[in-house]
Amino acid sequence: MNRLRRKACVALLLFTLFIFGTMMGLRTLKPTDGFSDLAPGMELMPLVGERMDQRPNNVAESAGQNGGVGSDTKIVFSNSGPDHSIFYDIHIFYYLWYGSPQMDGSYIHWDHVLVPHWDPKIASSHPKGRHSPPDDIASSYYPELGPYSSRDPDVIESHMAQIEAAAAGVVVLSWYPPGVADEHGKPTEDLVPAVMDAAHRHSIKVAFHLQPYKGRTDLSVHDNIKYIIDKYGKHGAFYRFKSSAGKILPLFYVYDSYLTPPETWAELLTVRGSHSLRGTPYDGIFIALIVEERHKQDILAGGFDGMYTYFASNGFSFGSSHQNWKAIKAFCDKNNLLFVPSAGPGYIDTAVRPWNNHNTRNRVNGRYYETSLQAAMSIRPDIITVTSFNEWHEGTQIEKAVPKKTVARLYLDYKPHQPDHYLELTRKWAEHFSKEKEQWLM
């Protein structure tokens, strides 16, 4: 009997030691450099408690690569109160393509068509047609503002207030030239002044996201850059970036840049190009989209200043896969390029592409977003972009959404959290990013 008791005690002691050792081991684990779609059980970085010291309201640029002491993250405090700070190294993609009958005569984009698959066999097994707002909109989520118009001044003001609450200092405005629009929308360039004025009221800066349009060439982009700088360059909300060389220049994101050959871009973006912008009043920091791995060399050859990933679906492309960001960052560092990773709260575009369910990324109540932001921060970038504020079709929005159920539709929502959950998470990580950058520069 005594022998059995001793054996039981030894077994219990060994089991206790095993549990203790396992717990201590888990506490010391750190996330790997590559992240899966969601790292289950990953400890998320804590909320930063204290903010940096107040800076003047007129600070306009954010730091460039390897910026020296005093040129790190710029912060402005808005006119809405001492507790609201803005971080200019958090950029958020913003869309102006929505319309409503009250402001535009009809719904625009909320009634988006269901895009058919390119394979007729696959297309035949999915629904066709278009959405019918206001109860049936082209999104899996429903905005708190309803199916709004981007022309509504109250909507623009609400959006800038939400972005300010999220502490994202730069709105990256999806831009088409005057009179030009995406295939499902209407021209919106005339709305840019209203957005810039509203942004300025909230101490937010505006950068431009050059969209692909029919006939876009290096020559037309030359004219686009000249137009933007001539028209908006003196506005208080116009964003400029401080480069590693100390130059303070406008920053432009170029979507689907890979559609134009690198040798063509080089005519615009290298010093020896036939119509080069370099060294002229229209010079800038030009950031290309990396989708495939081969695009790294194309971006370098084209004379771009950096690359961004845009897509919020981890694993969708080489560029959007978190596990590749360390290698891309190393390539950029070696070649004196900026690498700007894009973090997103999730992805679901089946309201417009019903056959694309395999690219859906569940939000998991915000954990996917935090994992994505941590992955971005782990490579020590100069800027982190957020995809997106209001790309509702692809379910990447952090704009306020509300629960909604109709006879035919049950929309996703942010429960058990409040409609501003993703704004709060963005602020939390913007503050953390700022603190981390302070440590990197020490």
Residue 379's pLDDT is 97
Residue 128's pLDDT is 93
Query: What is the percent of the chain with per-residue pLDDT over 90, rounded to a whole number?
Result: 79
Are the C-beta atoms of 189 and 176 separated by less than 8 Å?
yes
Are the C-beta atoms of 138 and 351 separated by less than 8 Å?
yes
Whole-structure pTM value: 0.83
Structure tokens at 78: 């808005």
From the list 257, 259, 251, the residue with the least C-alpha distance to 385 is 251
Residue 21's pLDDT is 52
Binned at pLDDT 50, 70 and 90, residue 137 comes out as very high
Binned at pLDDT 50, 70 and 90, residue 65 comes out as very low
Are the C-beta atoms of 163 and 92 separated by less than 8 Å?
yes
Task: Quick: pLDDT tens for 376-429.
Answer: 999 999 999 999 999 999 999 999 999 999 999 999 999 999 999 999 999 999
Structure tokens at 118: 């390119």
Query: Cis peptide before 140, with omega less than 30 degrees from 0?
Result: no
Query: How far apart are the C-alpha atoms of 187 and 96, rounded to whole Å?
Result: 9
Residue 83's pLDDT is 47
Query: How far apart are the C-alpha atoms of 150 and 159, rounded to whole Å?
Result: 10
Q: What is the Rg, in whole angstroms, of the alpha carbon atoms belonging to the chain?
A: 24
Task: Quick: pLDDT tens for 315-370.
Answer: 999 999 999 999 999 999 999 999 999 999 999 999 999 999 999 999 999 999 99
Are the C-beta atoms of 275 and 225 separated by less than 8 Å?
no
Structure tokens at 284: 């800038």
